[in-house]
Each structure stands twice: as structure tokens, then as C-alpha cells.
Structure 1
Amino acid sequence: MNYAQLLLPDFSLIACGWLLCRYTALDRRVWDQVESLVYYFLFPVLLFHSIVKSPIDLGAASHLLAAGIGIGLAGIGLAYALPHMPGLRRHIDRRDHAASAQVAFRFNSFICLAVAERLAGAEGLLVIAVLIGVCVPLMNVAAVWPMARHGGSGFLAQLVRNPLIVATGSGLVLNLAGVQLPGWMQPTLGRLGAASLALGLLAAGAGMQFGALSRGKLLGMSVLAIRHLVLPLVAWGLCRGLGLHGAQAAVLMAFSAVPTASSAYVLAARMGYNGAYVAALVTLSTLLGMASLPFALSLPR
């Protein structure tokens, strides 16, 4: 599998956004409005649709779900612990950490879907749908919590008002309740989801400032190391410990190593944090995925 070719579209869209913002009339005034559209409408539609469209059988996939949740909790715990680790605490800006912790554990759903289909066809898509349906709500809540806490706003109030949390939570409830969306809605929701991905990546490129990394190099290296090195090793241990094989094991390993979610930038920017810093991390994560995916899939299972 050519991972560079698989990740090239995401990287190209980020680069296009950067060029458009800096060298055309489509400056920050335009991209601020694009970010609002993506955050309040397009991304919620994407998340809701991706969760609802694939029924989750909790009983048949109990070990897989345990592994996916285990990976998520490991990433969340390690990311949250960074400011408290000896040798790191004095070099980490707490506000930048609140915005960038999500980079360590969130994942790019579209890349997950593409890799799963290439690895195991229809069975792979079913496996990744289960992981997305259960892990997206967990990781979105974990992404919002440090920013709400650091910003002094009520966590529950932020959850109720956050469109990504509302979309993922309602999607999971409908999925578990067995509610199916009408067929005539599927094409519209699918196209809105595709638009959210493209515009989200363009907005991330428009907001990107690599100079923002200069004051947070250690933090950036830490969250990216968790995302692209530690979590694949955690997934490998869980595969062996829970006895996962075949498509489930292959897709879980890929799930642990894909680049971080492109919506990480939009979430940080809309909540008033250093979006430029997070956008640069999203770009670096996309590049690192070209190495972490083959590394994760090469581990013996």
C-alpha cells in the first residue's frame, strides 16, 4: 500500500489553504467565516452521518471495542499527563497544551476509512465503523475538556453548546437505538461530509504558522510521539492481549497510527486558542502518518 499517495490529498489541501490565504485576496477575513461554517454545520453533519449509517453490534465486537477504547484512554491519559511529567512541566505552556492535547489521541476518520477498505474490503469498513462510532464521542469530549477547564468556562455548558459533541452524542444514541436514516438523505449528508473534510483542511492550511511551533517544540514533539509511536505500540499489546486477529487486528493497528483529526484546528480556533499552533501540528501529523502506518502494520500479530 502506498501511504504517501493515500495521505497526499490531505497534505495538498492544507498546502492549498496556506497558499490561498497568503498570496490571494482570500485572506483571514474569508477563512474566519469558513471556519465557522465548518465548525457549526459541516463537521457536525459529517460526524453524525458517519456514526449513524453503520449499525454497531456491541456484543459481537466486544474485544475490538475494548481495544479501541483502550487506545483512546491511553492517548488521553498520556496527553493530559504531559504538563505533570518531570522534565516537561516547566517547558510546556498550559494554554497551548489545552489546545494541542487532542492531537495526541484524535484520528482522521476519512483516512481510517480509506485504509480499512484497502486492508480488508467490506469487513474492514465494518470494523472501522464500529471503532469510529464508539471512539469519536469519547475523544471529542476529551478534546473539549482541557480547553473548557483552562478557559474557566463550565465543562458541562461547553459540552451542551459544542456542536461536535452534540452531533456525535446524538448519532451514537440513534445508532444504538437502531434508527435508520431515510435513503433519500444519504447523498446529501455524504456530500456535506465531503465538503467538511475539504474545507476543514483548507482552513487548517490558511491558519497554519510554522513559526508558532518555535515556542512549543517540546510539547509538539510529545503529542506527536504519543499519536504516531506510543499508540501503535499500545494497540499491538492490546491485539495480543485480547486475541484479535485478521481484519480486526489489521484495522485496529491502522486506527492507532493514522494522522490526527483535521478538525482539531477548527475546534481550537473556535474555542479561542492558538489555532496556528494546532494547524501546524495537524500538518506534521499528516506527514508522520506516512511512517507510522507502515510501522504499525509491520508489527508482528
Structure 2
Amino acid sequence: MNFFQLLLPDFALILCGSLVCRYTALDRAVWEPVERLVYFFLFPVLLFHSIVRSPLELRATSSLMAAGLLLGVGGIAMAYALPHLPGLARRIDARAHASAAQVAFRFNSFIALALSERLAGARGLLFIAVLIGVCVPLFNVAAVWPMARHSRAGFARALLRNPLILATAAGLAANFAGLRVPPWLEPSLARVGGASIPLGLMVAGAGMRLAHLAQHKALGVGLLAIRHLLQPLLAAALALAFHLDASQAAVLLAFSALPTASSCYVLASRMGYDGAFVAGLVTVSTLLGLASLPFALGLLARIA
């Protein structure tokens, strides 16, 4: 499999967004409303539609769900433990860690959906929807908790206002209840959701910033090492342990090495933290995805 050709379309859109934002009149003032449109409307529609349109066969996907949850818990545990490692306690600021810990385990859903469909077709899209469905609530809780705890903000309120959690919960509830989208509404939902992927990738590019990375170097290196090195290794071990088939293993390994969510810095900023530093980490994570995704998918040949 040519990983460069597989990843090129998504990263070309990210680069396009960065260049358009940096070198044309379509600057951050234009992209910030687009980002809100994607985050609060387009992507929740895509997430809901991806989950509800195909019945979830719990028996067929139970191993994948378990592996995804364990992968998520492992990433969260490593991110939370970082300041407590020998030699790092004095070098990591508690407030900076609270806002940036999410970088180690959250993922760019736009790239996830686009890549999974190319990896395994319709089955890949179903598998990534399953992982999104079980992991997004966990990841959002884990992302909000340190910031809410550190700033004494309302934890439950922050979760209940998160559009990704609301869309995921609604999609899972509708799926398990046997509800389906009416045929006459299907094309509209597909078009709305489909618009979120190219726009979301360009938004990720427009949001890339490097200026604030000089702060908290030890924290940044540790979180990015978890996201792009330790998570793929853990995913390979879990794929072996749960005897996942080739398609499920490919989606899990790709899921483990994705760039972090572009909305990390949005969440940090809206909760009163240093969004610029988190945006720098998102930028580097996006670039590292060009190396970590081929690395993770290359592990597939070793465990097959």
C-alpha cells in the first residue's frame, strides 16, 4: 500500500488551508466562523449520520470496541501520569498540563473519517464510527476534567454543551433503538456531513501556529511522543491481543496515530487557558501525522 498516496489528499487540504489563511485576505477572521460552523453543526451531523445509518453489530465489533476503549484509557493514563514521572514534575506547569493533556489522546476526526474509508471502504467507515462512538465521550470527559478541576469550572455543564458528545449520544441512542434516517432526508444529511471533511481539514490547516511552542518544551515533547509513538505501539499490541481482522486492525492502528484534534486549542481557549500553546502542539501533531500514520500502518504487516 502506498501510504504517501493514501495520506496526500487530506494533508494537501490541510496545507491549502494554511496557505490560504497565511497568504490571502481569507485570514483567521474568516476561518474562525468557519471553524465554529464545522464544530457545532457540520461535524456533529456527520458524526450522527455515520453512527445511525448502519446497524451496530455488537458481537462483530465488540473486540474492536474493547481494543479502542483500552487504547483510549492507556493514552489518557499516560497523559495524566506525565507530570509525575521522575525528573519531569518540576519542569511541567500544572496549568499548562491541564490544558494540553488532551493533545496526547484526542484525534482529528476529519482525517479519521476520510482515511478509514480509503483504508477499508464502507466497513472502514463503520469501524471508525464505532471507535468514535465509544471513544469521543471518554476523550471529551478526559479533556475537560483537568481544566474544569484546575479552574473550578462547571464540569457537567462543559460536557453537556459539547456538540460532539451530544451528537454521539444521539446517534448511539437512535442506532440501538432501531431508528433510521428517512430516505427523503438521507441526501441532505449526507451533503451536510460531506461538507465537514474538506472544510474541517482546511480549518485544521488555517489553525496551525508555531510561535508559542518555545514554552513548556518538556510537556510538549512528552505529549507528542505519547500521541505519535506510544499509542501506535499500544494499538499494535491490542490488535494482536484481541485477534482483530485485517480491516479492524488497520482502522485501529490508523486511529492510534492520527494527528490530535484541531479543536483542542478551541476547547482550551474557551475554558480560559493558553490556547496559543495548544495550537502550536496541534500544528506539530498534524505534521507528525505524516510520519506516524505510515509507521502505524507499517506495523500492520508485522502483526498480520
Tell me how large the CA RMSD over aligned residues is: 2.5
Contiguous gaps of at least 5 residues in structure 1:
none
2:169 is the counterpart of 1:172: no
Cα distance, 1:23 vs structure 2: 4.0
Q: Give me the whole-angstrom Cα distance separating, in 1, the residues matched to 2:230 and 2:77.
A: 12
**Gaps in structure 2 of 5+ consecutive residues:** none
Question: 1-side partners of 2:9 and 2:276: how far apart?
Answer: 21
Q: Match of 1:165, as an amino acid?
A: I
1:40 pairs with 2:40: yes
3-state secondary structure, aligned to 2:60: coil
CA–CA distance in 1 between the matches of 2:186 and 2:96? 38
Structure 1 stretch displaced more, 115-124 or 216-225: 115-124
Q: Match of 1:177, as an amino acid?
A: A
Contact 1:7 1:286 in 2 (8 A): no
Distance 1:113 1:276 in 2: 26
**Residue in 1 that maps onto 2:156:** 156
Give the counterpart letter for 1:164 in structure 2: L
Deviation string for 1:27-58 (max 9, x for gaps)?
A: 44434433333333233223322322232222
Moved more, 23-32 or 277-286: 23-32
Alignment length, in residue pairs?
301
Residue 250 (str. 1) matches residue 237 (str. 2): no
Residue correspondence of structure 1 range 21-170 to structure 2 within 5 A: 21-170=21-170
One-letter amino acid matched to 1:143 = A
TM-score when normalising by structure 2: 0.86
TM-score, normalization: structure 1? 0.87
Contact 1:17 1:203 in 2 (8 A): yes
Give how far 1:215 is off. 0.5
When residues 122 and 201 of structure 1 are mapped into structure 2, their CA distance, relative to the original with a 3 A threshold, is closer
- Higher mean C-alpha displacement, 29-38 vs 289-298: 29-38
Residues 193, 268 of structure 1: CA spacing in aligned structure 2 closer, same or farther, 3 A cutoff? farther
1:6-43 Cα shifts (integer Å, max 9, x gaps): 33444444444444444444444434433333333233
Does the aligned pair in 2 maintain the 1:200–1:263 contact within 8 Å? no
Q: Displacement, 1:231?
A: 1.0
Kept after mapping to 1: 8 A contact 2:16/2:205: yes
Distance in 2 (alpha carbons) for counterparts of 1:120 and 1:24: 37
The separation in 2 between residues aligned to 1:115 and 1:17, in whole angstroms, is 18
Q: Is the 8 A contact 1:68 1:252 kept in 2?
A: yes
1:164-215 C-alpha deviation (Å, 9 max, x unpaired): 2222222222222222112232332233334334444444444433111111
Percent identity of the aligned residues? 66
